[in-house]
Amino acid sequence: MLPVDVSEADAKGRRRPAKVIGIVLGVIVAVLAVVYLAGAFVFMDRFLPNTTVGDLDLSFKSSVEAQGMLSDVVDDYKLKVDGQGFALTLSASDAGMKLDAKAVTDAIHSDANPWAWPLEIVKTHDETEKLAASYNESGLGAAVRTAVDEFNKTATAPVNATVGYSEAKSAFVVEPEAVGTALDYDAVLKVVDDAVLAMQPTAKLTKDELQQPTVLSTDAKLTAAAEQANTMIKADLVLTMAGSTAGEVNADLVSQWVHLGDDLAATLDEGALTAWVDDLAAKCDTVGTTRTYTRPDGKVITVSGGIYGWSVDKDALLAMVKDGVANGTVGTFDVPASTTGTAYNGAGAQDWGARYCDIDLAEQYVRFYDESGALVWESPCISGTPDGVHDTSVGVYWLNQKASPSKLIGYENGQKIYESTVQYWMPFVGNAIGLHDADWQPSFGGSMYANGYGSHGCVNLPPYKAAELYGIIQAGDVVVSHW
């Protein structure tokens, strides 16, 4: 038996397991490499696990399979939008949606790293935005725009906060904004976009999608504008005529003349102020106007013409109102007038007091009432010949003067046609027509004026009655001549 080298045999025995382990490890590495390379190769066309587009799960799907799934979903897709009274159903074709499925899968692949698949397979890959990119430039916006515009035709638009006048408070106040029912296109489109991106079947509109006011009551400029406007309505001018109120310039009225510009600066509309003054003057001017009144005996009379009455000085009235508004004046003031009456009861009413002389041409009768309205004198008369030339003038006049005696001279076409001396001359139309005694008349009243006894325009009275009236009537008394 040959001797054995024990140490060398032991060394060889120890190398065999190490070699086996190395071989096994090499095989494992080779297998892993193959698996890794196979995985990388697979995920170059197939999608990684947990890859989604909207509700679609594309995990392990090939590009072709994914493209088919995407196309089917988009082709069949419908979205129902409602809320706030609005309703719209959109299909892919309605919205002009078109899908380039290959472009979508290519884009998804561009995000993936197949060489890192061992790490990526445990991650979530939401690629919905790649789908969105394929139709954001489509007809979706146009479809939504058309529907929203149609809805808004009958909807209530939002109202901005503004400054307005409150009659209850007699002041300018900030009036709050209001939302209304009109929809905001951009907000609606975002809701629709979000729903489409997630391939949701429904989308609900809320108050957030309503058009919103652009000016809010919290805007400090509105408060400042209200304060400025309120400084312009402090005036309260009570305008009177013969103690009766003819008009009043107060906050309610002046507020109509205050104009707030786009910059919220308050200015006074002088054109509107002037128009109001013109209107008041027109209502208060009574000279020559038609008045209807009830005589103390109950007869209702309408009379027009004459020179008696109120004639408002518009320039002075305008200056008074402008100054009063500018300075916030408060008080009672007479309406400036170039001529005044003894009373004022509004346009179309009696603008003289209880004391006046009433010449009733229809009755051929004259009456005089004192300050209390009592009948203190009366008499039949004969008025002017009703031939269109010598008719007694109608209207409201002042008694101009009195004269006793007086010589009356009449002219026609430059020729003297009469000359008479009367004892009691009481003219009311210039110095040409008046009341006077007429001792040449055989009697008075009735229809004598139309039967050849009519005057040249004056009102003839029995001498003793003329004497009585002469002692009562005074220059400046009102004379009303009417039918």
Active site residue 390: no
Is the confidence at residue 316, as pLDDT, over 60?
yes
Question: Residue 403 CA to chain centroid, in angstroms?
Answer: 63
Residue-level pLDDT at 69: 83
**Span 395-420, mean pLDDT?**
89
Contacts (Cβ under 8 Å, ≥6 apart) of 307:
287, 288, 395, 397, 398
Is the confidence at residue 6, as pLDDT, over 60?
no
In order of start, what are the domains of the chain with their CATH numbers?
231-339 (3.10.20.800), 356-482 (2.40.440.10)
- Which pairing describes strands 433-437 and 459-461: parallel, antiparallel, or unpaired? parallel
More confident residue, 136 or 348: 348
In this structure, are residues 103 and 135 in contact, taking their beta carbons and an 8 Å threshold?
no
As a whole-number percent, the residues of the chain with pLDDT over 90 amount to: 66
Is the confidence at residue 136, as pLDDT, over 60?
no
Three-state SS letters, the chain? CCCCCHHHHHHHHHHHHHHHHHHHHHHHHHHHHHHHHHHHHHCCCECCCCEEECCEECCCCEHHHHHHHHHHHHHHCEEEEEECCEEEEEECCCCCCCCCHHHHHHHHHHHCCHHHHHHHCCCCEECHHHHHCCCCCCCHHHHHHHHHHHHHCCCCCCECCEEEEECCCCEEEEECCECCCCECHHHHHHHHHHHHHCCCCEEECCHHHECCCCCCCCCHHHHHHHHHHHCCCCCEEEEEECCEEEEEECHHHHHHHEEECCCCCEEECHHHHHHHHHHHHHHHCCCCCCEEEECCCCCEEEECCECCCCEECHHHHHHHHHHHHHHCCEEEEECCEEECCCCCCCCCCCCCCCCEEEEECCCCEEEEECCCCCEEEEEECECECCCCCCCCCCEEEECCCCECCEEEEEEECCEEEEEEEECCEEEEECCCEEEEECCCCCCCCCCHHHCCCCECCCEEECHHHHHHHHHHCCCCCEEEEEC
Euclidean distance between CA atoms 349 and 11, whole angstroms: 145
Residue-level pLDDT at 253: 96
Is the confidence at residue 41, as pLDDT, over 90?
no
Q: Given 109, 390, 436, 482, which residue is catalytic?
A: 436
Active site residue 436: yes
**Span 392-412, mean pLDDT?**
93
**Span 356-361, mean pLDDT?**
98
Q: What is the pLDDT of residues 59-98, one digit of tens each?
A: 888 888 888 888 777 778 899 999 999 999 998 877 666 7
**Span 231-256, mean pLDDT?**
95
Q: What is the pTM of this model?
A: 0.62
Euclidean distance between CA atoms 283 and 346, whole angstroms: 8
Q: Given 125, 390, 458, 482, which residue is catalytic?
A: 458
**Span 141-149, mean pLDDT?**
92
Is the confidence at residue 137, as pLDDT, over 80?
no
Euclidean distance between CA atoms 3 and 129, whole angstroms: 81
Task: Name the average pLDDT for the chain.
Answer: 90
Is the confidence at residue 9, as pLDDT, over 90?
no
Structure-block tokens of residue 345: 């009861």
Residue-level pLDDT at 63: 87
Dihedrals phi, psi of 408, to nearest 5 degrees = -100, 125
